[in-house]
Amino acid sequence: MTAAQVNGITIEYDVHGDEDGEPLLLVMGLGGQLIDWPEALVDLLVEAGFRVIRFDNRDIGLSTKIDAPAPTVRQLLLATLSPRFAHPAYHLSDMADDAAALLDHLGIAKAHVVGASMGGMIVQSLAIGHPDKVLSLTSIMSNTGDRKHGKITLKLLRKMPRVLARSRKDPIAGGLEAGRLVSGPHFDEAEMRKLIQADLARDPDRDGAGRQTIAIAGSPDRTEELHRVTVPTLVIHGLVDPLVKPDGGIATAEAVPTAKLLMFPDMGHDLPVERWNEVVEAIAANAREATSPRPAGQASPV
């Protein structure tokens, strides 16, 4: 892994695949580190012809931690309910600027960009703020920030104070509980435990995840600006996602004129290994449209 000095901060990243592969930037979600993109999934993307770049977003992993107070559980819950309670140290657009600057650092003029959850919000912001850097866009289990679609379910929201409190006392037990609550039927507790342990060994400081939550809550609605995105766009969402409800994916696909929508009935707020081949094939097909445009349409749910 390597560090880049961009935008006055350090961004940790790694690169997989041949130099002549199509550059593909993976952007992880809330509190997620670059290692949360499984290497086996990265290998599939490399086999599909991509040169894959993973990185730690600001405030997580080995990238710079922002000097700002960590929000309390109460502040996090209030910010989730209304943006007027959010007072972010930075916005999603700043995180998109980091991604664009990392591509510049690597000498990459344009890249295919793929983001999951908060990462989907970041790549949407990247396509809006840096359209010249984006070849194709894939937004996974995300939303447009319009406050109406892709909200957390009430059932899960009621459980969040307990989960957050438990996570602060016991990150592994709390993380496993959160994983069970948000994932679909393919949830693998053993694999989740390994990932949480690897994350904690690499970066035990979890305060950045709270600041990222406030950044999401305090960032503006992207819907109108997404209307102007013209690159090939793929939206992937799970039909049993309780953290970002499926209408978040639908609203995203409706906002981008070029978007295709792919929804999985057995996917929650996770990316189950059982769907990796289909996801990689869909990302590759979307990327090919960057050089061979085809009429946009919507893929049927599978």
Question: pLDDT tens digits, the chain, 302 residues: what are they?
Answer: 799 999 999 999 999 999 999 999 999 999 999 999 999 999 999 999 999 999 999 999 999 999 999 888 788 878 877 788 888 999 999 999 999 999 999 999 999 999 999 999 999 999 999 999 999 999 999 999 999 999 999 999 899 888 988 888 999 999 999 999 999 999 999 999 999 999 999 999 989 999 999 999 999 999 999 999 999 999 999 999 999 999 999 999 999 999 999 999 999 999 999 999 999 999 999 999 997 755 544 443 33
Give me the pLDDT at residue 298, please: 46
Does residue 31 lie within any of the structural domains?
yes
Tell how strand 233-238 and strand 22-27 pair up.
unpaired
Count of structural domains, the chain = 1
Indicate left, alpha or beta for 76 from its phi (over 0: left) and psi (-120 to 50: alpha).
alpha
Compute how many other C-beta atoms are within 10 angstroms of the C-beta atom of residue 36: 21
Does residue 40 lie within any of the structural domains?
yes
Does residue 207 lie within any of the structural domains?
yes
Does residue 293 lie within any of the structural domains?
no
Compute how many other C-beta atoms are within 10 angstroms of the C-beta atom of residue 190: 7
Does residue 302 lie within any of the structural domains?
no
Q: Residue type for 12, please?
A: E
CATH code of the domain in which 78 resides: 3.40.50.1820
Helix (H, G, I), strand (E, B) or coil at 2: strand
Does residue 28 lie within any of the structural domains?
yes
Give me the pLDDT at residue 301, please: 38
Does residue 74 lie within any of the structural domains?
yes
Domain range enclosing 133:
2-288
CA-to-CA separations, 83 to 40, 94, 101, 177, 299, in angstroms, rounded: 37, 17, 28, 27, 33
Give me the pLDDT at residue 302, please: 34
Cross-strand pairs, 14: 54
Tell how strand 9-16 and strand 22-27 pair up.
unpaired
C-alpha–C-alpha distance, residues 38 and 36, integer Å: 6
Does residue 294 lie within any of the structural domains?
no
233-238: strand order across its sheet: 2-6, 9-16, 50-55, 22-27, 111-116, 134-140, 233-238, 259-264
Buried-exposed string 114-125: b where 16+ CB fall within 10 A, e elsewhere: bbbbbbbbbbbb
Which of 208, 59, 235, 209 lies closest to 144 in space, CA to CA?
235
What pTM value is reported for the model? 0.93
